[in-house]
A = this chain, B = another copy of it.
Amino acid sequence: MRTLIAGGVVVTAADVLTADVLVDREQIAAVGLGLGASAERVIDAAGRYVIPGGVDVHTHMQLATSGTVACDDFASGTAAAAWGGTTTIVDYAGHDRGEPLLSGLARWQAKAAGAAHIDYGFHMMISQVDDRVLAEFAGLAAAGVSSVKLFMAYPGVYMIDDAAFFRALRRAGELGLLAAVHAENGGPIEVLRAEYVASGLTGPAYHARSRPALLEGEATARAIALAELAGAPVYIAHLSAAEALAAVHVARDRGRPVYAETCPHYLYLDESVLSGPEGARYVCSPPLRQAGTPDLLWQGLRRGDLDVVATDHCPFTTSQKSRGEADFTQIPNGLNGVEERLALLHEGVCRGEISLTRWVDLAATAPARLFGLYPAKGTIAAGADADLVIFDPAATRSLSAATHHGASDYSVYEGLTVHGWPELVMQRGQVLVDADGFHGRPGAGRFLARGMPPLLSAGSPVPVRRRLRRSAHRPTFWACGNGHLTPG
């Protein structure tokens, strides 16, 4: 079965050109002009963008936390993602303390298998660090889980001390796993939380006040320093604070392999909503920051200090959020976003914050590269998976819980109008969403055994493909002049 997506404006991380895209079964066969002869089906894309399917590398479907469970499971959450143009997620699997990592992974695999409408992979959240756990890191890589998550916050749950953090970073680096970090200093946060509660200051705004930006900045700088000591790269997840952005900026100018992700809610919302009547809806960690921070984060996207926009999608219902009405420490942390991400980021194009090519890079290409999914995912090129979105820049849509497809009964973007929305979403040649509605199927999504993030594979037989351009660190490389290809 050959399908021609005809006449669209094909946008990749580097080019914007009018061309046809020829799909042959599950993959892209060619990008060019006059390719129509052999196609059995033609989809008109004139006047619209053709972009790679979105890659959201930070989701928490069905996560058990704070005594409840995030309301999107792998079925509803991946359907919402597909509606919004995202065709790949990387979710965070976990393990209980004492439980082998692969056992935890198996539990997450069981949740997703048979449920996911789109392709998915997993990071592994590390709850403790000891010789046994470090020894298990090699098994993760073999199982297609090429990244781990380390926590500098949540003492008693996920937080590990600096000695353990250093050992885990170093072991990950040795194996070519990328370590993603939750960078907030959990110790002083616990002091502040306890004091606010003891003082009866228990509203949602005190969730944010107990997690000041300064402590995210400090932890980010510390993560970067310990990664340098470990000789390893590091990935700062859900960066929200100006202080943290500054730490990343300095490190990248010094040539350190430091990567960072922010989320749509940090680009659109600030702490003022926490003081409103429904403040609990907006509680997440790190929290929303002071007015002005979104502008700085958009600047960070332009400068290249931030590499990825992912969602940290972890939605709850109003009812679930209300558990913490009298005590912010009881509010489950998390927001919706997996469906809105692509359009919210495109809105930044409309507002002149970023370019079209940067949009595609942030939403698909860069996350695919960093987490070992490229070039199967993240670009439009011969041989890549035919994960494609026809995106109509002339559409307008008012974001709302009334029309979104996730399970939550509210949206933090309620009433925000975006200019541009996916018109057709295809995965591996199959249309998931079009004007007729949703054609996905639970279980159609495949587990993605991810390769090594290319930035880490200096010693491996797989050539490094590309360096993110801005950062001053040197690419690792293969020897030249020996007939092998050098890295890109």
Binding site for B on A (CB under 8 A): 9, 11-20, 22, 24, 28-35, 47, 49, 161-167, 185, 187-188, 190-191, 212, 214-215, 217-218, 221-222, 225-226, 228-229, 249, 253, 255, 299, 302-304, 347, 349-358, 361, 365, 375, 379, 381-384, 393-396, 419-420, 464-467, 469-477, 479-488
Q: Is the CB of B212 within 8 A of A229?
A: yes
Of B18, B49, B188, B351, the residue contacting A162 (CB under 8 A) is B188
User: A419: which of B12, B16, B481 is its contact (CB, 8 Å)?
Assistant: B481
- Separation of A215 and B12 alpha carbons in the complex (Å): 41
Chain B residues, CB < 8 A from A482: 394
CA distance A394 to B226 in the complex (A): 39
A474 touches B352 (CB 8 A): yes
Copies of this chain held together in the complex: 4
Tell me, rounded to whole Å, the shortest Cβ–Cβ distance linking A35 to chain B.
6
Q: Give bound CA distance, A333 to B187, whole Å.
A: 30
Alpha-carbon separation in the docked complex, A470 to B355 (Å): 11
Question: Closest CB of chain B to A208's CB: distance in Å?
Answer: 14
9 nearest A-B residue pairs (beta carbon) = A30-B32, A14-B14, A350-B480, A356-B488, A16-B488, A163-B187, A419-B481, A162-B187, A419-B480
Residues on B with C-beta less than 8 A from A479 are: 350
Known: A218-B225, A255-B299. A393 touches B485 (CB 8 A): yes
Q: How far is the CA of A375 from the CA of B12 in the complex (A)?
A: 14
Pairwise interchain contact A229-B215, C-beta atoms closer than 8 A: yes
Q: Which residue of B lies closest to A359 (CB)?
A: B488
Nearest B residue to A358 by beta-carbon distance?
B469
List the B side residues contacting A350 at CB < 8 Å.
Answer: 477, 479-481, 486
- Give 23 CB contacts A-B under 8 Å: A12-B14, A14-B15, A17-B382, A17-B384, A19-B381, A24-B33, A30-B32, A30-B33, A32-B32, A47-B483, A163-B190, A164-B187, A188-B226, A218-B225, A221-B221, A221-B225, A299-B472, A347-B480, A350-B477, A355-B475, A356-B488, A394-B481, A419-B481
A14 to chain B: which residues have CB within 8 Å? Answer: 12-15, 357, 361, 365, 379, 466
- Give chain B nearest CB distance to A421 CB in angstroms: 10
Knowing A187-B166, A349-B480, the reply to whether A381 touches B30 (Cβ < 8 A) is no
Give me 14 other A-B pairs in contact (C-beta within 8 A), A302-B474, A393-B484 excluded.
A14-B379, A18-B383, A22-B32, A28-B32, A31-B32, A47-B483, A163-B188, A163-B191, A188-B226, A218-B225, A221-B225, A350-B477, A353-B474, A356-B466
Residue pair B303, A471 in contact (C-beta under 8 Å): yes
Contact B353 A480 (CB under 8 A): no
User: Within 8 Å CB of A167, what residues of B?
Assistant: 191
The answer to whether B471 and A302 have CB atoms under 8 Å apart is: yes
User: Hey, which chain B residues are within 8 Å of A12, CB to CB?
Assistant: 14-15
Task: Determine if A375 and B225 form an interchain contact, defined as CB atoms under 8 angstroms apart.
Answer: no
Q: Which residues on the B side are within 8 Å of A353 (C-beta)? A: 474
Give Cα A475 to B357, complex, Å.
12
Provide the bound-state CA to CA distance between A164 and B365, in Å. 43
Query: In whole Å, how far is A463's beta carbon from the nearest beta carbon of chain B?
Result: 8
- Cβ-defined contact, B394 with A483, below 8 A: yes
Within the complex, what minimum Cβ distance (angstroms) separates A204 from chain B? Answer: 21
> In the assembled complex, how far is the CB of residue A413 from the closest CB belonging to chain B, in whole angstroms?
17
B11 and A488 form a contact (CB under 8 A): yes
How far is A351 from B476 in the complex, measured between Cα atoms in Å? 9
The smallest C-beta distance from A26 to any residue of chain B, in angstroms, reads 13
Beta-carbon contact of A486 and B188 below 8 Å:
no
What CA separation (Å) do A215 and B166 show in the bound complex? 11
CB distance from A157 to the nearest CB of B (A): 15
**Is the beta-carbon distance between B229 and A214 smaller than 8 angstroms?**
yes
Interfacial chain B residues near A221, Cβ < 8 Å: 218, 221-222, 225
Q: Give the distance in Å from the alpha carbon of A255 to the alpha carbon of B296 in the complex.
A: 12
Complex interface: chain B residues within 8 A of A191 (CB): 163, 166-167
**Nearest-CB residue, chain B, relative to A191:** B163
A487 touching B163, Cβ below 8 Å: no
A59–B134 alpha-carbon span in the complex (Å): 42
Task: Give A324 to B329 CA distance when docked, in angstroms.
Answer: 50
Are A214 and B225 in touch, CB under 8 angstroms?
Answer: yes
Cα of A466 to Cα of B29 in the assembled complex, Å: 26
Q: Which of B349, B466, B474, B481 contacts A393 (CB 8 A)?
A: B481
Partner of A355, one of B31, B185, B384, B467: B467
Q: Contact between A396 and B481 (Cβ–Cβ < 8 Å)?
A: yes
Which has the most chain B C-beta neighbours within 10 Å: A22, A358, A361, A481? A481
CA of A212 to CA of B231, assembled, Å: 13
**Assuming the A-B contacts A32-B31, A191-B163, A225-B218, are A476 and B355 also in contact, with contact meaning beta carbons closer than 8 angstroms in the complex?**
no
